[in-house]
Amino acid sequence: MPILEDLYNALREQDEKEAQYIATALEIYVTGSLNVFNHRTNVDIQSRIVSYDIKELGKQLKKIGMLIVQDQVWNRVTVNREAHKSTRYYIDEMHLLLKEDQTAAYTVEIWKRFRKWGGIPTGITQNVKDLLSSREVENIFENSDYIYMLNQASGDRQILAKHLNISPHQLSYVTHSGEGEGLLFYGSVILPFVDRFPKDTELYRIMTTKPQEQSA
């Protein structure tokens, strides 16, 4: 499997000034302080479940890190399609992908094309204002089969009501609502729901994010 340094060396061997320009731009990612991606992975990316955590990447590497992850996901979707398998892609803190023009454009491309390739993307965020401030959010909503909405802060509720045409009565289901209560949007249908997931199960123990409920 080639790494970034192989591309860098190949470019340095070219006489064209364009090749030298690209190689110079890559130098910091190959031999410089941002060379974190210039290594072969020690993670089995062929596993059935793969989790990419980029929270510890510095600001300078965050954007390229997100693009690399998205490219890897696209590759996996392509391979799975050939094998007649679907691919589920969960994006936590999705609003971060929509902050940068490049990653936002790539995310919208994924949202528009994934279903034709057997991909099932799901975006997750608690920062609704940041999500809705993106120019690309309309494309995301228009290409989403459903929206699962839980309790919302006051300011977020008003913004969502405007964007999603939610009535005051429907909005009451995400106003000071309890755990597992909210609204489900499916096409033009908006349904209130109450989901009381049983807490005395192994699945709940694995899924809960409450520190007091997590075993040591």
pLDDT confidence of residue 41 = 79
Q: Is the pLDDT of residue 20 over 90?
A: yes
Q: Please compute the mean of the pLDDT values over residues 81-93 and round it to a whole number.
A: 92
Rounded alpha-carbon distances, angstroms, from residue 45 to 49, 76, 78, 122, 170: 8, 9, 14, 20, 42
13 and 86 part of one domain: no
Confirm whether 127 is domain-assigned.
yes
User: Of 84, 108, 143, which residue is a domain's last?
Assistant: 143
Q: Are 208 and 198 in contact (CB under 8 A)?
A: no
On whether both 22 and 95 belong to a single domain, the answer is no
**Average of per-residue pLDDT values in the chain:** 86
- Residue 116, token pair as written in the block: 């034709």
CA distances for 61 relative to 52, 65, 66, 178, angstroms: 14, 6, 9, 38
State which residues form the domain around 175.
145-216
Q: Which of 182, 191, 186, 137 is nearest to 162 (CA)?
A: 137
Q: Report, as an integer, the average pLDDT of 13-18.
A: 92
Q: Are residues 138 and 165 in the same domain?
A: no
Residues 70 and 86 in one domain: yes
Q: Please, where are the H alpha helices in the chain?
A: 4-12, 17-30, 59-82, 101-113, 128-132, 137-142, 154-164, 168-171, 202-207
Mean pLDDT of 107-123: 88
Q: pLDDT digit string (tens) for 154-184?
A: 878 888 888 888 888 988 999 988 888 999 9
User: Each residue of 117-135: pLDDT tens digit?
Assistant: 989 999 998 878 788 888 8
Pairing state between β 146-149 and 119-124: unpaired
Average pLDDT estimate for 94-119: 86
Residues 80 and 19 in one domain: no
Does pLDDT of 8 surpass 70?
Answer: yes
173 near 192, Cβ under 8 Å? yes
Statement: residue 56 has pLDDT above 80:
no
Higher pLDDT, 107 or 60: 107
| pLDDT exceeds 60 at position 216 | no
- For 190-201, how does the pLDDT look when each residue is reduced to its tens digit (9 = 90+)? 999 998 888 889
76, 106, 121, 139 from 112: Cα distances, Å: 17, 10, 10, 8
Q: 């031999």: which residue's tokens?
A: 31
The answer to whether residue 68 is domain-embedded is: yes
Q: Which residue has the tokens 């940068």?
A: 100
Cα–Cα distance for residue pair 9/32, rounded to 1 Å: 15
Q: Say what the pLDDT of residue 82 is.
A: 92
Q: Do residue 215 and residue 183 come from a single domain?
A: yes
Q: How many structural domains compose the chain? A: 3
Asked if residue 24 is part of any domain, the answer here is: yes
Please state, as a whole number, how many other Cβ atoms lie within 10 Å of the Cβ of residue 57: 16
Whether residue 34 is found in the same domain as residue 67 = no
pTM, two decimals, is 0.78
Domain end point (choices 126, 143, 160)? 143
- Torsion on CA atoms 103, 106, 111, 117, rounded to nearest 10: -140
Q: Is the pLDDT of residue 140 over 70?
A: yes
